[in-house]
Amino acid sequence: MPRPRSTTTLPDLSGRLAVVTGASDGVGLVVARRLAAAGAEVLLPVRSPAKGRAALETITAAVPRARVSLRELDLASLASVAALGRTLAEEGRPVHLLVANAGVMTPPARTTTADGHELQLGVNHLGHVALVAHLLPLLAAGRVRVVSQISIAAMRGSVRWDDPDWEQRYDGQAAYSSSKIAQGLFALELDRRSRAHGWGLTCALSHPGVVPTGLLAARPEMGRDRDTPQVRLIRHLSRWGLAGTLETAPLPALVAATAPEPAGGLMFGPRGLGHVSGGPAEQALFRPLRSTADAARVWGWSERLAGVRLPEGALEPVAPWRGATS
C-alpha cells in the first residue's frame, strides 16, 4: 500500500467539515487554524465559552475568511457528549475530518468526571469513544478521516483493565499513559472494523512529541496551582530546538488528517531524535499499541465504561445531506 507523504502543505479542504476537540488553545488551536486556512469549515466543540470565543477570534484574525463556529462540549460528561451528538444530528452535516485532540494530563490527585470515571480516562478516551458512537452516521456519511491524538507516553505502560478508574493506588503518569494507550487501541480497532463492515471511516494516530502546552502548566481547576517543573524544562528545551513548538507539534495530526493516500492504521509523529521534535513522519506503532487482541478487548471494555453500543455490522443508510455540495 502506498504510504502517505509527510508534507505540511495541506490540500484544498473547501467543502469539508472538520470537528476538532480541544481546539480552544495549544496544539488543537493550531490544528483548527491550519485546517481553516486550507478552506475547511471548522467546528470547535468547547467546554469554556470564553476560551472558545477567544480561539475563534484568534483563528479569524489569522484567516479572515475562515468558516469556524463553536458548539458546547464537556468531554468529562457523557451527557454533554450525547447532547452534542443530538445537536449535530439535527444539523445533519456529514463530518469529513474528526481530530480527537482534547486531553488532560497528570492531575496531582485522583479526580473524577461527572460520571465517576478517573478524569484522564474519561476525557482522553471515554469521551471520544462516546463522541464517535453518537456521531457515527455523520462520520460515515462524510467518509471521515478520524485522527486520534495520542502521546509519546503511550510508548510504555498498559491499559488498566481491572481498575480502569484508578480507585486503588492512583498514579497520575501511569493513568495518563493508560488512557492514551486505550485511545490508540480503540482507534486502530475502529479502523479495522470500519474496513471489515464498510463504514467508510479511516482512522490514524498522531502524537505531537514533547511540546510546552498547557497540559502541564498551572491548572487550578485540576488542583495544580503552579507550573510543573516538567513544563518549565520543556519550555527551555523548546527554545533551544530540543523539544517541539506550538507550530511544529500539530504537524503530525495535520498530515494524518489530510495525507492524500490512505492513512488507516498508521501513526505519525515528529521525526527527530526520540520522536520529541522535528518534522512529521510516519512511525512504527508504539509497542503497547501492536496487539490486535488488546485492541479487540478495549472495544467492548470502552463501550461498557462509556455507556454506548457501536454497531456489530453494516450501518443503516443515511439520507443524503441537502445543504451545500461537499
Decide if 170 is catalytic: no
* Residue that the C-alpha cell 461498557 belongs to: 304
Q: Are strands 97-100 and 41-46 parallel, antiparallel or unpaired?
A: unpaired
Q: Do the strands 145-149 and 202-206 form a parallel or antiparallel pair, or are they unpaired? A: parallel
Phi, psi of 295 (to 5 degrees): -65, -45
Q: How far is C-alpha 288 from the chain's CA centre?
A: 18
For residue 223, the one-letter residue type is G
Residues 6+ apart with CB under 8 A from 168: none
Please pick, among 176, 186, 199, 301, the residue that the annotation labels catalytic. Answer: 176
Three-state DSSP string of 299-310: HHHHHHHHCCCC
Catalytic residue set = 176
